[in-house]
């Protein structure tokens, strides 16, 4: 009898047809957005509520059956791959908005709702949830991986925007962390322990999120630069001056070429900043004016300011399609989309050294960056059947990670560790990784929570 069969039998009697072992369902939950092979779980559970998640965990705990929580599958480092088999818990039936507090600026949601679905529900309130990693990820997944994105420079990352959680622990206990107050000093910050824990410490079943008022005015701008340094220096100055920038995205010449082709644009194939300003009419206009001065001083040119919604939408739509635009440049190729984050003063150097490394290997790789945070992404496109290509992509990724560490940065600004970056986590945090392992052991002594991710105990 397969190892996890007794657990699956019990789960079947708990959930009926909401426990699936159909091959197509298993395969769907064994896929990933990265380059890892498909690894289907033994079964997929579709709980309807927290109490069922708790019952599932009690059964899996009793049988030592591994459990992997699943949002919508957009993670990039293999976070949700059931590498030790077991049961994947798909949160698709838990996507309610439980509360919207428009005076207190928070919403309480279930983990399966996506950020776009949440913002659709919020539209009439004048509020919005700003964290935007690009993909239409689930809020549970975004919490579990500590996602961030294009708006983080103004609105913060997930850990800044999650106020409270309900979590089901490995043994089925249900706990609540945080509160609905804007701040608290009451004991250890369990909320931020679970945010970014990638399902290895517990399953997030409810999230209280900060909301923000829709800005009175939004405008966008785009500017060209002769090199990375002049673009980055513009951003450094804007940050130092405390300008209220909502987005500041660096886009490299290779990406611009891809965007032109994919989105039928005619931008100059050089370094660009895509910017967005949120505020009152007056502050938005003032900020754009100052940003124009700054970029000119730093050697930029062709500053274009878009106040009309359709022009803005076109710009950001193009930016959001960057991943697909780049993949379209090499049809059929697989991609490693990897990110690191460094102090901003080191960002131009980090990007330039990475480009030089790629080019010296006879390759090209597009770079985009949430440059206000010092965070940049490289997409290595390769042919899966060509082992040399994959090896080169991996070694370029490895050097990019180590370079970020040498510059005082981190091996991932927002993608997380999953299985793809475990060795780099050790390089970054050394002895502290042993502390993470101690915490994992304390919270999940039998090691059933998304085993083999972040820290490997068995």
CB of 328 to a second copy, least distance (A): 28
Bridge partners of residue 70, in order along the sequence: 90
Q: How many CB atoms lie within 10 A of CB 437?
A: 14
Per CB under 8 A, which region of 41-49, 193-201, 361-369, 381-389 contacts a second copy?
A: 193-201
Per CB under 8 A, which region of 40-48, 312-320, 380-388, 404-412 contacts a second copy?
A: 404-412
Measure the CA–CA gap between 337 and 359, rounded to whole angstroms: 17
Q: Which of residues 10-49 bind a second copy (CB under 8 A)?
A: none
Bridge partners of residue 19, in order along the sequence: 45
Q: Which of residues 248-267 bind a second copy (CB under 8 A)?
A: none
- For a second copy, which residue of 73, 196, 366, 447 counts as binding (CB under 8 A)? 196
CB of 190 to a second copy, least distance (A): 6
Q: Is 218 in the site for a second copy (CB under 8 A)?
A: no
Instruction: Give 270's Cβ-side CA count (13 Å radius).
Output: 14
CB of 135 to a second copy, least distance (A): 15
List all residues 6 or more positions away from 11 whose beta carbon is below 8 Å from its beta carbon: 19, 43, 45, 56, 59, 60, 87
* H-state helical runs in 361-430: 387-406, 422-429
Instruction: Give 303's Cβ-side CA count (13 Å radius).
Output: 18
Q: Is 188 in the site for a second copy (CB under 8 A)?
A: yes
- For a second copy, which residue of 138, 177, 234, 354 counts as binding (CB under 8 A)? 177
Q: Is 143 in the site for a second copy (CB under 8 A)?
A: no
Residue number, 28 or 101, with CB nearest to a second copy: 101
String marking each residue 154-173 x if it binds a second copy according to CB under 8 A: ---x-xx--------x---x
Count interface residues toward a second copy (CB under 8 A).
90
Q: Is 57 in the site for a second copy (CB under 8 A)?
A: no
Instruction: Give 350's Cβ-side CA count (13 Å radius).
Output: 33
Nearest Cα to Cα of residue 372 among 245, 218, 217, 225:
245
Q: Which of residues 358-397 bind a second copy (CB under 8 A)?
A: 373-375
Q: Is 189 in the site for a second copy (CB under 8 A)?
A: yes
Angle at 77 between CA 195 and CA 275, to 5 degrees: 75
Q: Which of residues 280-299 bind a second copy (CB under 8 A)?
A: 280, 282-283, 286
Q: Which of residues 329-358 bind a second copy (CB under 8 A)?
A: 341-345
Calculate the alpha carbon distances from 388 to 16, 34, 77, 394, 396 in Å.
47, 18, 21, 10, 12
Token pair recorded at residue 258: 């891809």
Residue number, 268 or 345, with CB nearest to a second copy: 345
Measure the CA–CA gap between 379 and 359, rounded to whole angstroms: 14
Asked whether the beta carbons of 243 and 287 are under 8 A apart, the reply is yes
String marking each residue 406-445 x if it binds a second copy according to CB under 8 A: --xxxxxxxxxx---x--xx--xxxxxx-xx-xx-xxx--
């Amino acid at each position: 009898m397969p190892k996890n069969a007794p657990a699956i039998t019990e789960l079947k009697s708990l959930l009926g047809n909401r426990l699936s072992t159909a091959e197509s369902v298993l395969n769907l939950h064994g896929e990933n957005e990265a380059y890892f092979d498909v690894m289907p779980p033994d079964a997929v559970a579709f709980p309807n509520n927290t109490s069922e998640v708790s019952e599932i965990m009690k059964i899996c705990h009793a049988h030592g059956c591994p459990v992997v929580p699943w949002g919508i599958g957009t993670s990039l480092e293999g976070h949700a791959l059931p590498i030790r088999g077991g049961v994947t818990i798909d949160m698709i039936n838990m996507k309610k908005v439980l509360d919207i507090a428009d005076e207190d600026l928070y919403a309480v949601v279930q983990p399966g709702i996506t950020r776009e679905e949440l913002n659709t529900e919020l539209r009439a309130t004048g509020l919005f949830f700003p964290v935007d990693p690009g993909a239409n990820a689930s809020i549970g997944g975004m919490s579990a991986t500590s996602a961030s994105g294009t708006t983080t420079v103004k609105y913060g990352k997930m850990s800044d925007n999650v106020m409270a959680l309900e979590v089901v622990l490995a043994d089925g206990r249900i706990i609540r962390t945080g509160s609905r107050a804007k701040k608290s000093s009451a004991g250890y910050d369990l909320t931020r322990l679970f945010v970014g824990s990638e399902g290895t410490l517990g399953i997030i079943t409810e999230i209280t999120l900060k909301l923000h008022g829709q800005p009175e005015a939004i405008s966008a701008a785009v500017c060209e630069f002769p090199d990375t340094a002049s673009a980055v220096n513009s951003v450094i100055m804007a940050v130092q001056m405390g300008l209220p920038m909502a987005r500041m995205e660096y886009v490299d010449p290779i990406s611009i070429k891809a965007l032109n082709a994919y989105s039928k644009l005619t931008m100059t194939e050089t370094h660009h900043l895509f910017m967005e300003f949120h505020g009152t009419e007056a502050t938005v206009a003032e900020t754009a004016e100052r940003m124009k001065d700054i970029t000119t001083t730093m050697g930029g040119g062709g500053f274009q300011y878009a106040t009309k919604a359709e022009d803005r939408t076109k710009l950001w739509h193009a930016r959001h399609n960057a991943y697909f635009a780049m993949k379209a440049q090499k049809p059929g190729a697989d991609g490693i989309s990897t990110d690191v984050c460094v102090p901003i003063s080191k960002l131009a150097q980090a990007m330039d050294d990475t480009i030089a490394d790629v080019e010296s290997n006879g390759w090209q790789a597009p770079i985009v960056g949430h440059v206000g945070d010092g965070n940049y992404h490289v997409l290595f496109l390769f042919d899966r059947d060509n082992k040399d290509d994959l090896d080169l992509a991996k070694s370029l990724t490895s050097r990019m990670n180590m370079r970020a560490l040498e510059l005082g940065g981190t091996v991932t600004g927002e993608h997380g560790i999953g299985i793809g970056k475990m060795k780099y986590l050790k390089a970054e945090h050394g002895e502290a990784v042993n502390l993470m392992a101690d915490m994992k052991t304390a919270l999940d002594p039998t090691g059933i929570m998304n085993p083999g991710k972040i820290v490997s105990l068995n």
